[in-house]
Chains A and B, each alone.
Chain A
Amino acid sequence: MQAVGRDLATLDEVANALRALSPADHARLSLLARVRARQAPGLDWQDLLQESVAKALDGRRQWPRRLSFIVFLRETMRSEASEYVRRRIAGPVINETDLAGSDPDQSPFNLAVCSEPGPDRIAEARDGLARVRSMFADDQAVLAVIAGLAIGASPEEIQRAATLSAAQYAAAQKRLRRRLIRHDENEGRTE
């Protein structure tokens, strides 16, 4: 058994956790992958899930014991989707060894990929949010929920601001979730 770290599960534990997943867990993973693929147009949800599970199995993504396994995979897919967007916009990371022979006046630091969002990445994210909003152009309740969730407001704050009852809020949130999950199969890819 390979001990990966003091607070991290071993690779054997990851494999065992994957084998122990129930059909309902598989269903959750599929929904989580479909929602998260929304962040990265062009990324198929099955590819996202596959890449995330593969990286968990070989230790490139490590499972902190404090997280449930499903939450760990959710966070892995979140990170993978973000990385996909970063690579698509910024291109591959340039290794220092690849810089040999390049213009000596060109500082390697100018070529390094920055983890902070640049203008392209901000524009991409803005487009992503706009795409989600456009799916609900005629649904004011869902638009209010989107606006609230996007700024981290609590359900109560959103209900108060949009004058929604708890039932209306729950129904709007359900419509939002279902549309995000089924967007690809009903309307084609957004890219």
Chain B
Amino acid sequence: MTISYPGQDLDRLLLACEDAILEMDDKAVLVEAGDAASAAGAIVGRLVAAHLAGANDVLPPRRAARRTRVPGNARSRRQMLGRLVASRSGLPERVKVAFMSGDMDDSEIAALLEDLLSAPDEPDAE
């Protein structure tokens, strides 16, 4: 046997009214709501914006998210370091000289690229 109490009665009444609201067409519901529609939209918009702003706080910086990876083969690694040497004025002179002389082996190039590409404030390598 189901026990009914006034709270359930009121809840059933409100649910029936809510069902009727859900069944209203768009035009009727906009007329019925009046200014409250835009107030509700503002509440939703504000909360979503705050949520997204909060989510961005914990995301890596945009540059880090699209950070260039060290190429998988020696030829590409050498080409990338060549571009970096040509485009970055802040690289140590010894690195430039070593690269231009052709004395750097692939393992040194790979390690140097890893360091250069992992620096958070470096410009893109491409």
Q: State whether A15 and B48 are in contact (beta carbons under 8 Å apart), knowing that A27-B36, A33-B40 are contacts in the complex.
A: yes
Number of interface residues of B (CB under 8 A): 37
Contact code string A70-86 (vs B, CB < 8 Å = 1, else 0): 11001000100010000
Q: A23: which of B5, B6, B7, B30 is its contact (CB, 8 Å)? A: B30
Is there contact, CB below 8 Å, between B30 and A150? Answer: no
Is there contact, CB below 8 Å, between A31 and B33? Answer: yes
Chain A contacts for B8, CB-based, 8 A: 125
Chain B contacts for A15, CB-based, 8 A: 48, 51-52
Stretch at the interface among B19-27, B68-76, B97-105: B19-27
Chain A contacts for B38, CB-based, 8 A: 23, 26
Is there contact, CB below 8 Å, between B6 and A49? Answer: no
- Min CB gap A68→B, angstroms: 9
Whole-angstrom CA separation of A150 from B6 in the bound complex = 9
Is there contact, CB below 8 Å, between B40 and A29? Answer: yes
Contact code string A125-157 (vs B, CB < 8 Å = 1, else 0): 110110010000000000000100111100000
A residues in contact (CB < 8 Å) with B? 15, 18-19, 21-24, 26-36, 38-39, 45-46, 49-50, 53-54, 57-58, 70-71, 74, 78, 82, 117, 121-122, 124-126, 128-129, 132, 146, 149-152, 173-174, 176-178, 180-181
